[in-house]
Amino acid sequence: MERAHIYLDYAATTPLDPQVVRAMQPYFETEFGNPSSVHRWGQRAEAAVERARQEIAGLLRCQPDEIIFTSGGTESDNLALRGVAYHARAELGRNHILTTPVEHHAVLATAQDLAARHGFELELLPVDRHGRVHPDDLATRIRPETAIVSIIYANNEIGTINDLPSLGRVCRQHGVPFHTDAVQAASQLPIEVHQLQVDLMSIGGHKFYGPKGVGALYVRQGLKLYPVQTGGAQEGGRRAGTHNVPFIVGMAEALKLTTQSRDEHNAQYQVLRDILLAEIPARIPQALITGHPTERLPNHASFALRGVEANRLLAALDLAGFACSSGSACKTGNPEPSQVLLALGYSPEWAMGSLRITVGRPTKHEDIEALIRQLPDIVQRVREAEAAIP
């Protein structure tokens, strides 16, 4: 009998909701027009894109023309940072970028590239041992030359949630655009932009049971940014390229369904998450919870395991039938300590053993019980194998 496989990596991606598939289907088949075309096929496709824009804007409590459709969260982050930074330097003489050392690579690598190749000054804000930015630290480092501040809403690796309204108020007081990467957060946290006090916010469809390859960027009305992708006049000239109509329709449907059922699913997730947070450190020696103990995503449990190389652990878990993740450089053949855990002050010996377990809509109690039952032996075998390596 084939071993049952249990997926516990919902922070990486989620399956398509069946209702989302149904919403997308016509735009693969009969309603296949290009939204930029004048004829009726194009007009119907354009109408679908604009309905999706209105739907997403309603969920974010913003205006439809404040939504830019992109190919995903990574492009949204790139457009936010590059677009605002280029405009701020050219028009306002601002050359300073503030972000954190625990951002997703889509933000951090973009900021580093702007510094290394385009002459921007990059400053990394301090974070506490849970990965949070404190408003006072932001207030002491923001300055008239700051082009943009980018702080993640909920950390993808350790699940910690930042207090965006407090951080946003600091940015508003100084007249500096505030961007947040909400790609991981949008599946479980409030996303009303004015409540969050953000000027730009990135989301990606596949994190909330929508399609891969589509995302959106909220840009507050009146905020200027230079386009990064040039060509046609789509998205008000801010992002060129033919609209991916079925995916845009699917993302809007997925976000609507997620928002409607958020409280119900979060309650289910939190029960399972709390079992993991309680049981794994109790059953496995030298295992620590990473991230904030309470201000964290409801579906997210993360740990540092001393003396464990994460890639080997993930491979062993996969062989045992469990799909989990880590913060290390997986699949590269050159494992490295988690940069997030290093930034939080963990030693490389601990940071090599980053383990992330994230639950989703299909996850059952028995799935969590099975993992908790088998994980201690799996970790012990990996530790023994590593100890035996000369």
Catalytic residues: 330
Cα three-residue angle 364-156-4, rounded to 5 degrees: 30
Crossing angle between the packed helical segments 310-319 and 365-387, to the nearest 10 degrees: 130
184/104 Cα distance (integer angstroms): 10
C-alpha distances (whole Å) from 20 to each of 114, 153, 260, 362 are 37, 25, 14, 16
- Element holding 322 (H helix, E strand): strand 322-323
Burial of 387: CB neighbours in 10 Å, binned 0-12, 13-18, 19+: exposed
- What are the backbone dihedrals phi and psi of residue 50, each rounded to the nearest 5 degrees, phi first? -70, -35
206/77 Cα distance (integer angstroms): 15
- What are the backbone dihedrals phi and psi of residue 327, each rounded to the nearest 5 degrees, phi first? -105, 5
222/281 Cα distance (integer angstroms): 49
CB contact set of 155 (below 8 Å; sequence gap of 6+):
102, 131, 161, 184, 291, 340
Beta-carbon count within 10 A of 206 CB: 24
85/111 Cα distance (integer angstroms): 10
365/312 Cα distance (integer angstroms): 26
